[in-house]
Structure formats: C-alpha cells, structure tokens
Amino acid sequence: MALELEFICPLPSGIHARPASALEEVVRQFVSEVTLLNRRTQRQANGKSILAMVGTDVRLGDTCVFTVSGSDEQKAIDGLKAFLHDKFPHCDAPLTAAKIETATPLSPGLRDAGAIIYRGQPVVPGIGRGRGVQLGKFSIPPSLPRNGVTDTEKEWRRLDASLAKLNMAYDHRLVVAKGVEAELVRVHQAIARDVDFQNHLRAAVTERQRTAAGAIEEAETHFSKMLAASGNEMLQERALDIQDVCRQLLREIYGDAVKTDAVQLTAASVVVAESLTPGQFLALDRKFLKGLVLASVGGTSHTVILARSFNIPTLAGVTDLPTIQLGGQEIVVDADAGALVTDLTKAARRHYTLEERRIAGRRMRLEKLSVSAVTTEDGQRIEIAANISTAGEADAAFEVGAEGVGLFRTEMLFLDRPTPPDEAEQFESYRAVLAAAKGRPVVIRTFDVGGDKPLAYLNLPAEENPFLGRRAVRIYPEFETLFRTQIRALVRASTAGKLSVMIPMIATVDEARWVKRIIAEEQKKCAAKKIAFDPAMAVGAMIEVPAAALAVEALSRELDFFSIGSNDLLQYFMAADRMNAQLGVLSNPLQPAFLRLLKLIADAARTQKKEISLCGEMGSHVRFLPLLVGSGLNKISAAAPVIAGLKAELSRLNQAACRQLLESALQCATADEVNALLEQFLSQVNVPLLETDLILIDSDATTKAEAIKQAVDQLFIMGRTDNSQAVEDAVWRREATYSTGFGQGFAIPHCQTNAVRFNSLVLLKLRSPVAWDSLDGQPVRVVILLAIRTGQASTTHMQVLAKLARKIMDEDFRAELEQEKDAARLGAILQKIF
Amino acid sequence: MKLVAVTACPTGIAHTYMAAAQLEKTAKKLGHTIKVETQGAMGIENELSQADVDGADAVILATDIMIEQEGRFARARKIQVPVQAALKDPDAIFAQLK
C-alpha cells in the first residue's frame, strides 16, 4: 500500500536543481518507488530523478505530494518528513541570486568620449580591460554521425561506460574543488547520474538507433526545452548545466574530436559570449580573465555565481552581442557603469585611467587602514576581528584589516561529507589559519553541529525542536571520540600561533568543567608523547544561551573569555525563531530588554576581568556599533567585507558618548524608540567636512568632466561615498541649471544626495585651467566641491558652508587660496573660517 | 538708501550665500544700508520682518526659485534678478535703483 506525504514548497526559488538534488539524495537511500506530484501543474516525477523533479516546476507555495510504495515505505516517509521539516527549508540558502542592478547614467567623461558603448546589466561589479575574446555557443561538431547504429547494445555500453568514467571524474574533482565550485560539481554529477537523463540516453540508442553523440544531442535538447518551458528563470539557467554535462560526456567518448571551443587566453582578456557554461568558465585561465560579457541575463546561473566568487567583473544582458565584431581589439567591461566599451578613443582610455586610479586609491586607503589598530575617538581600543568558516578565508580577512580571527566556525569541516575529518586534516586546517594570522589572536570554535546542521554520520534522529535539542556541546559526551580528535588537533596546533578555543552553546558550569577536563587530559597525553603544545591556550565559551548570560561569574572560574553569539542569544532570549520572518519584530536586537542583557554580560565579564567580545550578526551592522561600543565590549568579530567599514566607523565614535547612548537606550520602552535614538545619535556623529586627503593640490584634469570626476572619486577613495557615479550624476544635474563657475578662475560645484555618507568638501587645484562655462567666460583653476548628505542640511556644517560661500566672494581670500601650494596649509586656511 | 533683499538658489548650498555676500559688499561700497535674508538649505535666515520691508526704499529679489512669504513684498518697490546677476554684476542691479 502506497503512503502519501503532502507538503507546501517553502523555497522562494521553488524546486530547482539544487533542492531537487538534496531531495534525490534522501530518496536514494530507500528502495521504495517515490513519485513527486505538483498539484498546481499536475506534473509528476520520479523522486530518484533530479531532472524530472525540476521539470514539475514546483514554485513557492505549491502544494505537492510524495507517494511512496515499496518494502521500506514507512522508513522512507519518515525520512522525507524529517528532511522536509528540518533541512529542506534551508537547503537553498547560499545560492542566492547574484543581484542585478539597473544601469546608472554614464559619466560624461565616458559618454562624450566617442567610443562605442553597449549597455548591459552589471552582475558582478568592477572594471576589466583586455583583448576581446569571443566564444561560440555549445554545439556538437557536425562531423560526428548521429544516427544509424547497428550494434545498439555495444553503443549503449560505450555510452554507459563513459557515464561511469564521468562520474569518477566528478569524484576526483570534488576532492580538490572548494565552495561554489564544489557545489557546481555536485549539481553536474547529480545530472550525470540522474535516472531520467540516463533512461533518455539509453532509449535514444537502443530504441532509435542513435549514436552516442546523437543521443547526447537529443537529451540536451529535450531537457533544455523542459527547463525552458518551466517559465522559471532560475530553471532556464540550469540548461547551461545540462549543456556542460553533455559537453563533458562527449569529451569522455570522443576525446579531442569535440575540442570545439577550448580557448587559451594568453594575455589580459575580456571574454564575450552569448552564453557561457560553468565548465567553459572554469576552463578559462583566470590569470588572464579580466572580465566577462554575456548576452543572456540572469543572476542565478552557475557561471555568474562562479564569476562572483572569483571576482570577475561581469556584465549580462548585452543584447547587441551577436552583431558585435571585436577582431581582437582592446575592450573594457565596466560593470560599475553597466557598459561594454569598444573602439576605445583617447578620451575613453583617459576615462578608464582615472577609473583605475579611483579603484586603486580606495584599495590603498583600505590597506592603510588595515595595518593600523583602531581606537575610538577618545582612545578606547576595541579589536575588530573576522568571522571565517574555512581556513582559506583567513588571508582575505587579514588583507582587509582584521586584527585577528574572532570566530573560526569549524563545522564546515564536518558538514556535507560521508565521514568526519581526521586529526591530520583538522590539524592542517587550524595550523593554516594560525600561520595566516602571523601571531594575531585566533579563536577557533569547536564544532557546532546538530540542530539545524545535522550530520549523516552521527545518525542523530530528527527532533521536534532542533534548536532546543541536541547540538554543539550537548552532544560532545555522546560523540566523545569525535570531540577528543578535534581537541587533539587544536592542542597540537596551539604552538603555531596565539590560539584560543571556544565552546558553543554552553549553558551550565558542568558543561564547561567537562570540556576543560577533556582538554586537560588531551594535553597530558601530548605531554607524555613529547608532542609540543601551548599550555596557556585559552578556553572560552560562546554566550548564546540565556542561562550562560546569567552565569558569567560562575563560568569565569572555569573559562578565560566569552563571546556573545547574538543570533542564537536573541532567538533564545526572545523565544522567537530567527528563521521565521513573521517574528521579525521579536528578532530585532534593538529590543531594550536584549540590550540590557548585552550590557549585563559585558559588565559581568569586566568585573571578572575576562575578555568579552561579540561575534554574531549584530556586529556586522556598522549602524549598531555605537551601542556595542557603549556596552564596553573588548572585541567585535564580523564578516570580512564589513571590517574596514567597522574600523573606519569606530575611529569616529566617542566611547563616553556611546555609553550615554546605551544608557538612554536602556530607558526606552520599545525597539522603535531605540532605533529613533540611534538614528539621532548617528546623524550627530561628528565627521569633519574637510580632511587633508580631500585637498588635491596638483590635479592633472584636462576637462571640466575630469575635474568633477576626480573630486568625486576622492570622496570614494576616502570612504565618504560607495557610489561615486550617483554623486557625479547629482553634481551634473545641478550643473545643468547653470554653471557653478562663478568667475575669477573659481568653481564651486555642489550637490545634495543620499549617495554621500557625510557632508564633505573637496578642494582641487588644477595644473592647467579648464573651461567651465563660467559667468565671466574664464577657465577655472580652483574647484571646491560641496557634497551634502540629504537630510543633514540643517547642521552646523551648513553654516560653515554658508560662511565659505560668502567668504569665497572676497578677493583677498581667493588670492590666499590660489597662492598656497601645500595641502595641509590650505586645509588650515579653510579651517580658519569654519 | 535703505534696502532689503532676499537671495535663494536651486540647491541652497552655495549661490544663495555668495549672492548675499556680494549684495552686502556692493551696498557698502555704494553707501547704502542693506539687510539680506537668505532662503537656503538651512531655511530662512536673517529674516526680514514686515517692518523691515515697509521701512525700506526698495527690495532686491535675487532668486531662481519660488520664495517663502512672498506676501511681505506685495506693496514694496521690487527689483527681480537671477542669482547669477548678483554674482556677475551687482553694480548693475544697484544702478536700476536710481
């Protein structure tokens, strides 16, 4: 008797290749027949075929039914039920669509440069310059026969053997592939061993006398059409994955005969293709790959996701692509502006020289920030560290200025594999992070698995309430061998740097004592075996269970430091599942009671003279920083991309003021009140209008457009805007009413825009005067750019600017500005009137 | 002469104040007294009262946009010029007063 299980699809992108392959993995464990029916489309599929399940076009909210029949049907239903409840809603998380932004107006310097410009949608930001290399579409060489096989059995055996070889090749690649690439190989492998895919190939050969090439061509067309018919952009893009598998399969069978478009890049290149399969992308030499231009739009194709992960500037949706003949000329893909630029003129090259200067300037400034430790404006030192999940991320984190690793989540080492990592593999990973840290502190968290991160090899039964169940430190005694292995790897690695070990989900002193005992025992064993280790290795705990938050004093007798895991602490404290968007109000860290809890933890740790940090999501929001600084934390650990921003913001904050802010926030009744208070505080953070680095005394701008661009770019370099194009655009919109060149060689371009973070003034002295369409018709030698943040107009800055505007009408003042050649002294002249 | 003026430019960041300074400077040079109200990004500053307006010989409106409280000047002798005129050739504006 067949069993049924009905469910509603919770995935925003529906059941595409990735969730389907996760479902298939579950179904494959049972011998029973499993079919999936989408009630909306009435399409039905074999649960052991990823492609067929994808073909049912399940979208968010569709009601679906699994029908299971066979000897182990009850077990299969239970397994599916547990999977649908625990894992399925989250199985699609990391493959979020690469964001597609709408094109911004072009900078006049580019617009009027006389080069040919094709507009497209930026999918990976950045600018790449290189020889244009055009790649053709996927096709099977016409020379290969498609039909007329006599010994169909033999032909199928040949094809079947190639499928097996391809499968092995994928296994080999999985050993070295990482991250997105590994994800991709898994999807391709799943397609290659898909029941429907294989059945289709077999039928083409045995029933229709197709050759292997003919069968592959037929399967490729069939499944691509099926995906195209789904009406779902994400599914349509999976057609590229099918093409890839078919291409690889062809190569297995025919070898070099199908080397159709393998392109060898030999110099800096921008690759232009109507569409590019992920496999084609990976085959390109990334040393020379400077940019990518695609005709097809789509933010979710694996090619785009790969391009993003390798940071290759990419432009999509360039519809004119088929008609463009590049002939090997130098081209620019400008994904920041949403443009492909060909037939470069002198002016266009000049524009991109300035662009390169802008990007390099920002990078150099970040590097400068990254080497320095930061304090608050009033001298309070707070360490800004990085959260990482793999050893490979450490270098990049230090490059952007991390002062240490505040959280290395080791569970990534344990997830998605049939057996746990052994001691040697773990040791190597921990040692690598410590080596990358070069003496900076590294906090490694022991594995936090169970709950939402189940491991197949632990065989933990599904729980009603996984977040309140057996996870992290709670399962260590049960899997003591696994835990001891990790501890041994950590103890051995401790000589490689400044290592601290952190335990997740500590709720009681008993748990802390147990962990300490295991560590002490493993250290003793190492000592007995004459294995070197650091006996002073610190041991601390995550504070994410409210009980621990109230036991800091007692825990301090066992542990050396604490780190607040704000995500879990918040959800446990508010009793609100953080995955449930409808409970968003409760999951707001600005809830006054939660802030009170943070302060209580920080105060308790300080009283006990223990280091207290925060490594949760809350620390990744630059906006929340004043409240965290006010609570007296010693360290904040966050994702690498926000580190430079956190450091810059920290240097602007005053700890005493932040403390007062937190005190006031604690008096608030609601999160909204706290938010309003924070907003007010942030609007008053005193960022000076002018700093010496905003004064350029020897600009080589040759036109008004270049001068405006250079002035705006300086705001970008100094981190005062993240969108120079929008600021430039605002300046030009003002310039359109009438020229800001007011005569006597001076111009005062200005704008009000949200694209600048702070009110700013840039002073540019030009090496040679440029035409500005001035009131007196004279060229301009001195440019003063005023960029005002919308909504911050009524502050003291506006009074300063008004004073400056009046002063600039004074001849003597202008003469003083013209004569002074030193940036710092020019700054002082301007400061005098402030 | 006893004059009052209002300056107001499109963004209210620079030219409003540049024009105000220029009018004040020129008035002083020519021996007039002047009170200049600015309507910029900070709102109205150095606001003219009805008494200021009524007591003045003329009003100079160096404005590119609609101004606030225009009613104050309903009965006054007005000279309307673009903001740029106040920057470029303020003497010419004052010449119109004769």
CATH number where B62 lies: 3.40.50.2300
A751 has a chain B CB within 8 A of its CB: yes
Q: What's the gap in Å between the CA of A703 and the closest CA on chain B?
A: 22
B68 has a chain A CB within 8 A of its CB: no
Rounded to 5 degrees, φ, ψ at A431 are -60, -40
| Residue B40 forms part of a structural domain | yes
Q: What's the gap in Å between the CA of A111 and the closest CA on chain B?
A: 25
> What per-residue string of b and e applies to A344-356 under the rule 16 or more CB within 10 Å gives b?
beebbbbbbebbe
pLDDT for A794 equals 55
Interchain contact, B43 vs A798, CB within 8 Å: no
Which of A198, A208, A204, A212 minimizes the C-alpha distance to A145? A212
Distances (CA, A) of A738 to A10, A255, A524, B7, B85: 55, 67, 80, 16, 12
Residue of B nearest to A737 (CA): B10
Beta strands in A523-640 (DSSP E): 538-543, 561-564, 611-614, 635-639
Pick B58 or A12 by higher pLDDT: B58
> What per-residue string of b and e applies to A611-632 under the rule 16 or more CB within 10 Å gives b?
bbbbbbbbbbebebbbbbbbbb
Beta strands in A568-699 (DSSP E): 611-614, 635-639, 695-699
Residue of A nearest to B86 (CA): A742
Residue of A nearest to B19 (CA): A806
Decide: helix, strand or coil at residue A188. helix
To test the contact with chain A by mutation, choose from B16, B17, B64, B84 the residue with the greatest count of A C-beta atoms within 10 A, namely: B17
To test the contact with chain B by mutation, choose from A762, A798, A811, A833 the residue with the greatest count of B C-beta atoms within 10 A, namely: A798
Contacting B residues, span 40-59, partner chain A, CB-CB under 8 Å: 40-43, 45
> What per-residue string of b and e applies to A293-310 under the rule 16 or more CB within 10 Å gives b?
bbbbbbbbbbbbbbbbbb
Rounded to 5 degrees, φ, ψ at A474 are -70, -25
User: A344 with A331: CB under 8 angstroms?
Assistant: yes
Residue B43's domain comprises 2-86
Q: What's the gap in Å between the CA of A805 and the closest CA on chain B?
A: 5
pLDDT for A422 equals 92
pLDDT for A99 equals 43
Q: What is the mean pLDDT of each run of 10 residues along chain A (834 residues)?
A: 87 80 83 91 86 84 92 89 84 49 74 91 89 80 84 92 92 78 82 89 93 91 78 70 87 72 82 84 88 75 76 86 81 92 94 93 79 83 91 84 93 80 93 95 94 74 82 94 97 97 97 98 96 96 97 97 95 87 85 97 97 93 94 93 85 92 97 92 79 94 95 94 90 91 93 88 96 94 92 71 91 94 93 83
- CB-CB neighbors (< 8 A) of B18 in chain A: 742, 748, 805-806, 808-809
Whole-structure pTM value: 0.65
- CB-CB neighbors (< 8 A) of A734 in chain B: 10-11
| Residue B98 forms part of a structural domain | no
| pLDDT mean over B13-36 | 95
> What per-residue string of b and e applies to A232-254 under the rule 16 or more CB within 10 Å gives b?
bebbbbbbbbbbbbbbbbbbbbb
How far apart (Å, rounded) are the C-alpha atoms in residues B70 and B80? 12
How far apart (Å, rounded) are the C-alpha atoms in residues A213 and B48? 88
Interchain contact, A752 vs B41, CB within 8 Å: yes
- CB-CB neighbors (< 8 A) of A813 in chain B: none
Kindly state the tokens that stand for A793.
């107009």
To test the contact with chain A by mutation, choose from B9, B13, B25 the residue with the greatest count of A C-beta atoms within 10 A, namely: B13
Residue of A nearest to B85 (CA): A775
User: A76 with A34: CB under 8 angstroms?
Assistant: yes
Q: What's the gap in Å between the CA of B18 and the closest CA on chain A?
A: 5
- CB-CB neighbors (< 8 A) of A793 in chain B: 12, 41-42
CB nearest A806 (choices: B12, B20, B64): B20
CB nearest B42 (choices: A776, A802, A810): A802
What region, left, alpha or beta, does residue A426 occupy, with left being phi > 0 and alpha being psi -120 to 50 degrees? alpha
Tokens 């997830």, residue?
A: A415
pLDDT for A92 equals 66
What region, left, alpha or beta, does residue A76 occupy, with left being phi > 0 and alpha being psi -120 to 50 degrees? alpha
User: A24 with A44: CB under 8 angstroms?
Assistant: no
Count of structural domains, chain B: 1
- CB-CB neighbors (< 8 A) of B14 in chain A: 740, 748, 750, 786, 801, 805
Interchain contact, A788 vs B87, CB within 8 Å: no
Decide: helix, strand or coil at residue A761. strand
A3 has a chain B CB within 8 A of its CB: no
Q: Which of A188, A351, A750, A797 is catalytic?
A: A750
CB nearest A801 (choices: B13, B45, B84): B13
Which of A379, A299, A308 minimizes the C-alpha distance to A102? A299
Interchain contact, A776 vs B87, CB within 8 Å: no
Residue A351 annotated to the active site: no
A788 has a chain B CB within 8 A of its CB: yes
| Residue B49 forms part of a structural domain | yes
In terms of DSSP bridges, do strands A498-503 and B2-8 run parallel, antiparallel, or are they unpaired?
Answer: unpaired
Interchain contact, B18 vs A748, CB within 8 Å: yes
How far apart (Å, rounded) are the C-alpha atoms in residues A96 and A353? 34
First to last CA, chain A: 85
To test the contact with chain B by mutation, choose from A759, A785, A792, A806 the residue with the greatest count of B C-beta atoms within 10 A, namely: A806
The helix-helix angle for A152-176 and A239-254 (nearest 10°) equals 110
pLDDT for A800 equals 84
pLDDT for A261 equals 54
A743 has a chain B CB within 8 A of its CB: yes
pLDDT for A97 equals 43
| Residue B91 forms part of a structural domain | no
How far apart (Å, rounded) are the C-alpha atoms in residues A542 and A504? 5
Q: Which of A9, A91, A246, A615 is catalytic?
A: A615
Distances (CA, A) of A613 to A72, A603, A618, A813: 50, 12, 12, 51
Interchain contact, A809 vs B42, CB within 8 Å: no
User: A270 with A290: CB under 8 angstroms?
Assistant: yes
Contacting B residues, span 2-31, partner chain A, CB-CB under 8 Å: 10-18, 20-22, 25
User: A689 with A761: CB under 8 angstroms?
Assistant: yes
pLDDT for A256 equals 67
- CB-CB neighbors (< 8 A) of A775 in chain B: 84, 87-88
List CB contacts of A827: < 8 A, sequence separation 6 or more. A690, A691, A692, A695
B65 has a chain A CB within 8 A of its CB: no
How far apart (Å, rounded) are the C-alpha atoms in residues A45 and A64? 11
A740 has a chain B CB within 8 A of its CB: yes
Kindly state the tokens that stand for A800.
């300063």
- Spell out the domains of chain A, with CATH numbers in brackets: 3-90 (3.30.1340.10), 108-136+262-356 (3.50.30.10), 152-258 (1.10.274.10), 372-653 (3.20.20.60), 692-833 (3.40.930.10)
What is the predicted ipTM?
Answer: 0.91
- CB-CB neighbors (< 8 A) of A788 in chain B: 13, 41
Q: What's the gap in Å between the CA of B64 and the closest CA on chain A?
A: 10
pLDDT for A502 equals 98
Tokens 């369409």, residue?
A: A773
Residue of A nearest to B64 (CA): A737
Compute, in degrees rounded to 10, the torsion defined by CA atoms A302, A308, A311, A313.
Answer: 90
- CB-CB neighbors (< 8 A) of A786 in chain B: 13-14
Q: What's the gap in Å between the CA of A580 and the closest CA on chain B?
A: 43
How far apart (Å, rounded) are the C-alpha atoms in residues A50 and A27? 10
How far apart (Å, rounded) are the C-alpha atoms in residues B29 and B91? 10
Interchain contact, A802 vs B17, CB within 8 Å: yes
Distances (CA, A) of A138 to A141, A179, A372: 9, 26, 50
Which of A563, A598, A619 minimizes the C-alpha distance to A448? A563
Residue A59 exposure: Cα atoms within 13 Å on the Cβ side: 9
- The residues of B annotated with a catalytic role in the active site are 9
List CB contacts of A515: < 8 A, sequence separation 6 or more. A473, A476, A503, A506, A539
Interchain contact, B87 vs A751, CB within 8 Å: no
| Residue B94 forms part of a structural domain | no
User: A373 with A153: CB under 8 angstroms?
Assistant: no
How far apart (Å, rounded) are the C-alpha atoms in residues A647 and A146? 62
How far apart (Å, rounded) are the C-alpha atoms in residues A829 and A813? 9
B76 has a chain A CB within 8 A of its CB: no
Q: Which of A9, A188, A246, A302 is catalytic?
A: A302
- CB-CB neighbors (< 8 A) of B11 in chain A: 734, 750-752
Interchain contact, A809 vs B18, CB within 8 Å: yes
Distances (CA, A) of A723 to A335, A728, B23: 13, 9, 37
Report CA torsion sign: A569, A574, A577, A582: negative
| Residue B75 forms part of a structural domain | yes
A787 has a chain B CB within 8 A of its CB: no
